[in-house]
Each structure stands twice: as C-alpha cells, then as structure tokens.
C-alpha cells in the first residue's frame, strides 16, 4: 500500500499541511517516538498522546480540525474532521486490499478434510485441511472455512462469511452474509438448562432450537453462543461481540449492538438495538434492555431497563450520574463511621 499524502487526504476528505508529494506505505503509532517511522502515517485523537506529536518521526500524522498545536511539529499533517474516524477508514482500506490479495489465493478444498456429498457449496469457497462439513449444509459464495473447523448438519452460511480455525457450528444453525467468526467460537452448543428434581438431582432439559446470526455480525475468539431450548437464539444484523463472551439460550440481541470481552448474558434476556456493554457486564435471565442502553464495565443487571438511550453503572445498576453521586457518599462512609463512634464514646 503506497499513497502520496495528496492521495491520502483525498481518500479521507482532508487537507495536507506540508509536502503533499511525500509517500506513505505503512501504518504507525504516534507514541513510538524512538523508532524511525519514515513512510509511516499515524494519528492523534486522544489528548493524552498529544506530547508525542512533537516528537514523532512519522512522515504524516492525521489530526482533527479542532487540534491546536502548542509547539512546532516536524511531521506533515493531514487535517480531517475527526482523526479517529479517518484512521478507521484508512484501516478499512488497508484491510480490504490485504484481504483481497490474501483471499484470492484461498480457493478450493484442502485435504484431508470431509465434505458431505449432500452439502451444497457455493462458488469460490475455501475449505481448510481437517475441516468437517456435514449433511445438507449450505455454504454460500466466497465463504472461507479455515482448518479444523466443524460445520454440522443442516447449517447455513451466507455469502462472503469467514469461519476461522477451530470454529464449531452445531447442527441447524444459520450464519448470515459477511459474518466473521474468529478462532475457537462455538455456535449452538446446548444451553444451560436443568430441571431440579425432588431428590436434589437435576434433569437435563433438551435444547431443540438453534442459533441465528444475521448479516454483518462479528464474533470474537472463544466466544460461545448457546442454542435455544425452543425457537432461536438471535444475534441481530451488524452486532459485534468481543472475545470470551457467553451468550445463553434464547437470548435475543438487536442490531448494531457492541459487547466487550467477558460479558455474560443469561438465558432469554433480550437486548435492544445500538446498545453498548462494557467488559464483564453481567445480565440476568429473562430481562429486557431498551434500545441505545450503555453499561460501564462490571455492571450487573437483574431488572428490566425500559428507558432507551441512557447510561448505567454499578451492580445492581444505577443511572450513571446517580451512581457517581452515590459513590461520593459511599467514599465518606469510613469517616462517618468514625464520627459516630467518637460521638458514642462521648456519651
């Protein structure tokens, strides 16, 4: 990937301050000031990193229009409306180019692998060594299935989806178009359903449903999404789930929701569209969460959230601003306790 700064500015709808004929051919980090980054382009979006822009040896730095330099800068600048979004666009372009080059080579079925004669395979697919594709499975066009993946019976995988190494997709599950499942993902294992018996033992409840991932869903490494008891566990279009997340049976997650690592979602919970769940958020079963809800890391939910577009924190959760007010009081409790004890001694 080689661009002149003029070409790069055109791609990002920005303008160049400096030599627009300079060429960049790699992505850099603004805090790597000890490295020679000739030919690198980096970005400044977080004010915490501003000091590095005065030291960096990168050829170009992408900055927001709101940035006001406090000292001279030796690098060329590309001024854009929002530096973070612009750099994201650049990463997308870089990924598209490198993937196109890489995936062009990934066509065909490697041996040893097993593909059922009853499976339906689309054009230009790739099946890596030691993969398994079961009966009556339908694989769309341009799908990439990497080595040691297991695709069970009656599974459907839409066009252009990527199934990385070691993914397990159980029977009857449906994967939409343009989905990405990273290494170790398990889709459709049995949900955690056990009925307590009078003698204290537990009877297994059969899990007869499936999992449906709608289009443009990304699932991070070693995340597990359980099949429904009856019906479907559903992950909505455009939703992004991080590594090491547990999604229970019959959960429904709306469109364009983002979920960070180590979140646990218990069975039959319903999460709306455009929600954001920070790391280690815990959600109890059978509750509903309104569209646009945002939860800070380690929040715990055990009741419905009915008001949309609000931020929450704590366990059990409070509205974010209310939690901060309560926390101010909480920090004062040791001092208040001491004052009460001192008063008791005076009586």
184, 221 contact by CB (below 8 A): yes
Q: Could you tell me if 191 and 280 lie in one domain? A: yes
Q: Could you tell me if 248 and 145 lie in one domain? A: yes
Residues 236-259 have pLDDT tens digits of 999 999 999 999 999 999 999 999
Does 328 reside within a domain? Answer: no
44, 63 contact by CB (below 8 A): yes
Is the pLDDT confidence value at 98 over 80?
no
- C-alpha span between 20 and 76 (Å, rounded): 8
Lowest-confidence segment of 51-55, 123-127, 144-148, 342-346 by average pLDDT: 342-346
Give Cβ neighbours of residue 131 (< 8 Å, ≥ 6 apart). 110, 113, 114, 115, 145, 146, 147, 148, 149, 150, 151
Q: Could you tell me if 224 and 82 lie in one domain? A: no
H/E stretch holding 62 reads strand 60-64
Report the pLDDT averaged over residues 14-33. Answer: 92
Q: Look up the domain containing 81 and give its range.
A: 3-103
Last residue of a domain, one of 103, 137, 152: 103
259, 278 contact by CB (below 8 A): no
Catalytic residue among 71, 182, 249, 286: 249
Q: Could you tell me if 71 and 196 lie in one domain? A: no
**pLDDT greater at residue 181 or residue 328:** 181
Q: Could you tell me if 206 and 82 lie in one domain? A: no
Does 342 reside within a domain? Answer: no
Last residue of a domain, one of 83, 103, 123: 103
Look at the chain and report how many structural domains it folds into: 2
Report the pLDDT averaged over residues 7-20. Answer: 95
Does 20 reside within a domain? Answer: yes
Instruction: pLDDT band for 347, please (50, 70, 90 cuts).
Output: low
Does 225 reside within a domain? Answer: yes
Q: Could you tell me if 54 and 156 lie in one domain? A: no
Residue whose C-alpha is closest to residue 217's, from 259, 164, 177? 177
Residues 301-315 have pLDDT tens digits of 999 999 999 999 999
- C-alpha span between 281 and 271 (Å, rounded): 13
Residues 40-53 have pLDDT tens digits of 999 999 999 999 99
Does 24 reside within a domain? Answer: yes
- C-alpha span between 259 and 279 (Å, rounded): 8
Backbone φ and ψ for 50, nearest 5 degrees, come out as -60, -35
**Cα dihedral angle (69, 70, 76, 82), rounded to 10 degrees?**
-20
Is 182 noted as a catalytic residue in this protein?
no
Q: Could you tell me if 92 and 187 lie in one domain? A: no
Does 207 reside within a domain? Answer: yes
Report the pLDDT averaged over residues 51-68. Answer: 95
Last residue of a domain, one of 103, 122, 148: 103
Residue whose C-alpha is closest to residue 59's, from 39, 87, 29? 39
Q: Could you tell me if 75 and 124 lie in one domain? A: no
Looking up residue 74, the CATH number of its domain turns out to be: 3.40.1390.10
Is the pLDDT confidence value at 346 over 80?
no
Q: Could you tell me if 71 and 139 lie in one domain? A: no
Q: Could you tell me if 151 and 71 lie in one domain? A: no
Q: Could you tell me if 127 and 97 lie in one domain? A: no
Does 338 reside within a domain? Answer: no
Per-chain mean pLDDT for the chain: 94
Looking up residue 187, the CATH number of its domain turns out to be: 2.160.10.10
Q: Which of 102-116, 173-187, 307-321 has the highest mean predicted lDDT (pLDDT)?
A: 173-187
Does 345 reside within a domain? Answer: no
pTM confidence score:
0.83
| Distance from the Cα of residue 111 to its chain's centroid | 32
Regarding beta strands 294-295 and 311-313, do their DSSP bridges make them parallel or antiparallel, or are they unpaired? parallel
Instruction: pLDDT band for 177, please (50, 70, 90 cuts).
Output: very high
Q: Could you tell me if 168 and 124 lie in one domain? A: yes
The two structure tokens encoding residue 245: 């997340």
């Amino acid at each position: 990937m080689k661009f002149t700064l003029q070409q790069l500015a055109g791609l990002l709808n920005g303008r160049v301050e400096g030599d627009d004929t300079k060429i960049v051919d790699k992505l850099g980090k603004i805090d790597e000031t000890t490295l020679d980054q000739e030919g690198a382009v980096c970005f400044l979006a977080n004010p915490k990193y501003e000091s590095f822009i005065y030291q960096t040896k990168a050829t170009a730095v992408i900055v927001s229009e709101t940035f006001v330099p406090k000292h001279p800068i030796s690098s060329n600048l590309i001024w854009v409306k929002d530096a973070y979004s612009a750099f994201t666009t650049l990463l997308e372009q870089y990924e598209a180019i490198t993937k196109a080059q890489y995936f062009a080579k990934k066509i065909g079925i490697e041996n040893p692998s097993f593909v059922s004669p009853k499976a339906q395979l689309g054009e230009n697919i790739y099946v890596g060594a030691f993969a398994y594709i079961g009966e009556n499975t339908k694989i769309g066009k341009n799908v990439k299935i990497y080595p040691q993946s297991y695709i069970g019976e009656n599974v459907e995988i839409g066009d252009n989806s990527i199934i990385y190494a070691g993914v397990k997709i159980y029977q009857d599950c449906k994967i939409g178009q343009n989905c990405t499942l990273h290494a170790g993902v398990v889709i459709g294992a049995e949900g955690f359903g056990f009925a307590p018996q009078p003698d204290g033992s537990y009877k297994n409840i059969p899990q007869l449903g499936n999992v449906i991932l709608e289009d443009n869903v990304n699932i991070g490494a070693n995340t597990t999404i359980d099949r429904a008891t009856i019906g479907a566990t559903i992950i909505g279009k455009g939703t992004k789930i991080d590594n090491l997340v547990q999604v229970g049976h019959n959960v429904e997650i709306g469109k364009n929701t983002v979920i960070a690592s180590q979140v646990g979602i218990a069975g039959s919970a319903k999460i709306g569209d455009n929600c954001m769940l920070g790391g280690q958020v815990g959600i109890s079963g059978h509750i509903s969460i309104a569209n646009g809800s945002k939860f800070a890391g380690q929040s715990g939910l055990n009741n419905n959230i009915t008001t949309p577009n609000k931020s929450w924190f704590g366990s059990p959760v409070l509205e974010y601003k209310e939690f901060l007010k309560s926390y101010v009081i909480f920090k004062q409790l040791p001092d208040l306790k001491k004052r009460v004890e001192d008063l008791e001694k005076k009586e």
